[in-house]
Structure 1
Amino acid sequence: MDEKHKNVLRRNRTNLVRDLNPSDLYDGLLEKGVFTQDMIDEIKRSGTRRDQARQLVRDLATRGSQAFPLFLECLKETGQQSLAELLENGAPGVQPQPTAVVRPVVRPLPVSPPTDVNEEKKDDAPYDPKQTRNITPTPSPEMEYMRPNQQGRIRRDSVQNYKMDASPCGHCLIINNVEFDPKSYLSNRRGSNIDCDKLEQRFKALNFIVEVKLNLTQKQIKHALHTLSKKDHSQYDCCVVIILSHGTEVSHSRFPGAVYGVDGQCISVQNITNYLNGQHCPSLQSKPKLFFIQACGGDEKDTGFEVSSDEAEPSPGGADDQTDAIPMSSSSDSLSMSDEVDAKASLPTPSDILVSYSTFPGYVSWRDPQSGSWYVETLDRILEENAAVHDLATMLTMVNNDVSQNSAKGLYKQMPGSFNFLRKFLYFQTKA
């Protein structure tokens, strides 16, 4: 879209969100090729009428040069003449081209292929796609668990704790994307199975029903999340989603990041969280929804900054560490042994959601083919050592600090972080 038309949408954003009726526009926008069906479905999932209007305006600005005049046409055809006139006054003389509708063109991201010919020799064993598994969720074995808020926990009287004493505590869905379609130009993520196994065992130990799904396309990811959202969570206290994949960076309002399916199509983190929000999953209302994302936030590599000797706690990473990102622009950097970069999404911010990212938005996330990713390895250890005493937010701060001490190839750093919209402290159940 032309910059002048984007400016018109920005100036009139408040009026559009307040007065626009998105549901009347969907058929016309689809027919004229402004949006795809998948895009319209995602807008519908964004929430209330105002939420859908807000998302529609954001997405509209990302479409082609004919999107604005075709949008005006749709407004007039659906009786929203006053909004059309408001926009036309900001961009006089705008008319759609008389030629055939211009369909949006999807172009692949440029890719820097791996250049280290010896890298494949570092795996313990080649990954066998025949071992693809779809584990049927089964409750953890019966055992005694320490209930939250028992003696010894850190207490802060000004803030309540989430109820976390159901047994099992809740569902945990792990999506582990390892083998990518060659047409996607995404490299296979060796070492991710190590991450998956660690997290599967860790959340079983925390009394969750764990389900692992391997090598899902974008549509299969959506289906898995939809299925999870339709479960009855009324007898549980929490829900966890873990995604191990490539990522990409896109524009966002609140939750950055998108993750890739093995077909090379991505889904934004914002849309992932929407499946479990209060509107789409009523049985999880007021209950914590936790998302852990091991994927890149972009293609930048962080070289860090110098600190005094008493501040530095060096912890060198492996010489063969890889990133979980593919650069968004071509790069001559031979160290780009990459997966992909994370996208940024835009939707309303529901309460009781925490999204923990392996890396700061815009930067790569490092993974060792032999021992797994820095983030997951550290997260698993911190949960094992501290879940009986500390709340989740405190433990994630510990993860941030420990991962920040690592360094890849003696040079590159990584900084995890969280978008925390929890209203209370969260203490996991632990074995007695």
Structure 2
Amino acid sequence: MDPKHRQILQRHRSNLVTALNPPDICDGLLSKGVFTQDMIDEIKSKGIRRDQARQLVIELEMRGSQAFPAFLECLRETGQHDLADLLQCGDGVRRPPSVPIQPSLIPLPVQNPISTAKPDRPDFTPQRLVPLRPESLPVPDPFSPSSETQGVRPTRPRRDSIQCYKMDASPCGICLIINNVDFDPASELKDRKGSDIDCDKMEKRFKALNFEVVVKRNLKFKRIRHEMSTLAKRDHSAYDCCVVIILSHGTEANHNRFPGAVHGVDGPSVPVQLITNYLNGQNCPSLQGKPKLFFIQACGGGEKDVGFEVSPDEVEPSLGGMDDQMDAIPMSSSSDSLSTSDEVDARASLPTPSDILVSYSTFPGYVSWRDTQAGSWYVENLDRVLEENAAMDDLVTMLMMVNDAVSQISAKGLYKQMPGSFNFLRKLLYFQSSPS
């Protein structure tokens, strides 16, 4: 496909997913030789219309130079003229000749109003409105300051193509949730009231996204590592993705890739870097080339963020609950930090991890807030954003929405929180969406 046509499809992907009715045009694309029957069957296997539309657009981008014109023709043949016009305008092609172009009337200077009275000069000729042909009109400069008032805006350059991960297996993958709530008194860590609310939200959400969800509660240090090792040894060949969600107390830790560590209920902490290494391409071959997603609801340290002052219209302040608590203790000792002699899969000599994304509830070094009645700020907004946007947006875009939402909340009217992620994904990731 011509790169400019692929860019048009990518630019209007959300419109196509929202409005396109794939069954109406599949036969036309098949008869025109754009799609094969196997491709049509693959699109129809997606279930709900939105997933079929997204798959159709992805397949269309991989076809030849005639795919885009044939797609426009199919849209018009099936009465989807609005979508065809939207894409055709993006191609810089004029509308069909059946749409008349009205001449513009440009007033010229008038010395005297037209009247039945005789002019003072014999050579006087009344001025009148003269229609000008469209091609004679001046062409506005899209980069001039006045172009915005004329509705002409330059388009932002886009990359040629960003592929999407395959995410159509059923179930899509395994989602392991580690929910640490009740901590041993000897650990000097408080129980995490409200964490069960977070756990329930994530379990329901990822089941709705067609994951096989496994929940483990109150795991000690060694048990966390055991569960990660067991997950790594499973055969993921039939799956397209793997998700790990950890809800626990957290702390800082020495690292060379992924910061932070999470505590077992007995006290010692497991570095996030070690947790991700269990699923990297070397230690879990059946997940090679597939996205591995980690969501960490835990503190990255003990520092409290009081934020900075902005203008009133910059954000809409949102107050946290009166029962906000922190998921943090001070930085771990060297015995708790990642050591290159700890395990083979923790060595710094391993290749840089690919296809891994680690989303943190807070910036490294800072506390993460949790409402004992409503759950954590991060999980609450992550659940909401996934519910509202998973059918349309990719994961990285949705995580930016989460970042923005959490950043506008205040604990006790003072303290702030800023989530973030370390992203080593190579493609866009779209979750499977549940029927609406």
TM-score bracket for this pair, using the shorter chain length: 0.5 to 0.7
How far residue 431 of structure 1 moved from its aligned partner, in angstroms, is 1.4
Q: Return the alpha-carbon distance in structure 2 between the equivalents of residues 319 and 222 of structure 1.
A: 35
1:222 corresponds to 2:229: no
Cα contact 1:259–1:269 (8 A) shared by 2:
yes
Which residue, 365, 370, 387 being the options, matches 2:368? 365
Partner of 2:162: 159
Instruction: Give a deviation string over 1:173-217, Cα, whole Å, max 9, x none.
Output: 000000011111111000000000000000000000000000001
Match of 1:405 among 390, 405, 408: 408
Q: Matched residues in 1 for 2:371 and 2:57: separation?
A: 36
RMSD after superposition: 2.2
Q: Please tell me whether Structure 1 or Structure 2 has the larger radius of gyration of its CA atoms.
A: 2
Contact 2:248–2:297 at 8 Å: present in 1 too? yes
Q: Do the aligned partners of 1:358 and 1:416 also contact (CA within 8 Å) in 2?
A: yes
Shift of 1:147: 3.5
The question of whether the paired residues in 2 share the 8 Å contact of 1:161 and 1:425 is answered with yes
C-alpha distance in structure 2 between counterparts of 1:424 and 1:415, whole Å: 25
Larger mean CA deviation between 313-322 and 414-423 belongs to 313-322
2:315 is aligned with 1:298: no
* 1:327 and 2:333 aligned: no
**What does residue 66 of structure 1 align with?**
none
Deviation of 1:312 after TM superposition, in Å, equals 1.8
Q: Is the 8 A contact 1:169 1:237 kept in 2?
A: yes
Q: CA deviation at 1:327?
A: 3.3
SS in 1 for 2:296: strand
Q: How does 1:181-200 map to 2 (within 5 A)?
A: 181-200=184-203
SS state at 1:430 partner = coil
Alpha-carbon shift at residue 251 of structure 1 (Å): 2.0
Shift of 1:152: 8.6
User: Pick from 382, 390, 397: which aligns with 2:385?
Assistant: 382
Counterpart among 318, 321, 332 of residue 321 in structure 2: 318
SS state at 1:283 partner: helix
In the alignment, is residue 177 of structure 1 matched against residue 177 of structure 2?
no
AA aligned opposite 1:265: P
Deviations 1:23-63 (A, max 9, x none): xxxxxxxxxxxxxxxxxxxxxxxxxxxxxxxxxxxxxxxxx
Show the counterpart of 2:421. 418
3-state SS of paired residue (2:177): strand
In structure 1, how many angstroms separate the alpha carbons of the residues matched to 2:322 and 2:218? 27
Q: How many residues align?
A: 278
1:11-31, Cα deviation, whole Å (9 max, x unpaired): xxxxxxxxxxxxxxxxxxxxx
**Partner-residue secondary structure (3-state), 1:195:** helix
- Confirm or deny: 8 A CA contact 1:322 1:367 kept in the other structure: yes
Q: Which amino acid aligns with 1:386?
A: N
Measure how far apart 1:150 and its partner are: 3.8
Deviation per residue, 1:282-329 (Å, 9 max, x gap): 000000000000000000000000111221211111122001012349
Aligned to 2:432: 429
Cα-to-partner distance string for 1:326-367 (whole Å, 9 max, x where unaligned): 2349xxxxxxxxxxxx97888453100000000000000000
Q: Report the Cα distance in structure 2 between the residues aligned to 1:344 and 1:197, rounded to whole angstroms.
A: 31
CA contact (8 A) 2:208 2:433 kept: yes
Q: CA deviation at 1:157?
A: 4.9
- The Cα offsets for residues 118-147 of structure 1, whole Å up to 9 and x where unpaired, read as xxxxxxxxxxxxxxxxxxxxxxxxx94554
Question: Partners in 1 of 2:338 and 2:274 — Cα distance?
Answer: 10
Q: Deviations over 1:47-97 (max 9, x none)?
A: xxxxxxxxxxxxxxxxxxxxxxxxxxxxxxxxxxxxxxxxxxxxxxxxxxx
Q: 1:229-259 CA deviation, whole Å, 9 max, x = no partner?
A: 1111001100000000011112222100100
The question of 1:356 aligning with 2:355 is answered: no
Alignment partner, residue 231 of structure 1: 234
2:384 match: secondary structure = helix
Map 1:26-425 onto structure 2 (within 5 A).
144=47, 147=51, 149-150=54-55, 157-328=160-331, 347=348, 348=350, 349-425=352-428
Match of 1:431, SS state, is: coil
**Contact 1:294–1:375 (8 Å) recurs in 2:** yes
Please say if residues 184 and 265 of structure 2, whose CA atoms lie closer than 8 Å, have aligned partners that are also in contact. yes
Asked if the contact 1:253/1:344 (under 8 Å) is kept, the reply is no
Q: Contact 1:170–1:237 (CA<8 Å) still a contact in 2?
A: yes
TM-score (norm 1): 0.62
Which secondary structure state, in structure 2, belongs to the residue aligned with residue 419 of structure 1? Answer: strand
Residues 253 and 331 in structure 2, CA contact (< 8 A), matched pair in contact too:
no
C-alpha change, 1:343 and 1:365, in structure 2 (3 Å) is farther
Q: Percent same amino acid among aligned pairs?
A: 73
CA distance in 2, matches of 1:325, 1:343: 15
Q: Give, in whole Å, the separation in 2 of the partners of 1:312 and 1:431.
A: 32
Distance in 1 (alpha carbons) for counterparts of 2:385 and 2:415: 22
Structure 1 residue ranges, 4+ long, deviating more than 6 angstroms after superposition = 342-346
Q: Deviations over 1:397-427 (max 9, x none)?
A: 0000000000000000000000000000000
Aligned-partner Cα distance in 2 for 1:157–1:383: 27
- The whole-number CA distance in structure 1 between the counterparts of 2:240 and 2:255 is 29
CA contact (8 A) 2:274 2:338 kept: no
The residue type equivalent to 1:312 in the other structure is: V
CA distance in 1, matches of 2:188, 2:47: 47
Distance of 2:192 and 2:56 partners within structure 1: 42
**Aligned position for 1:32:** none
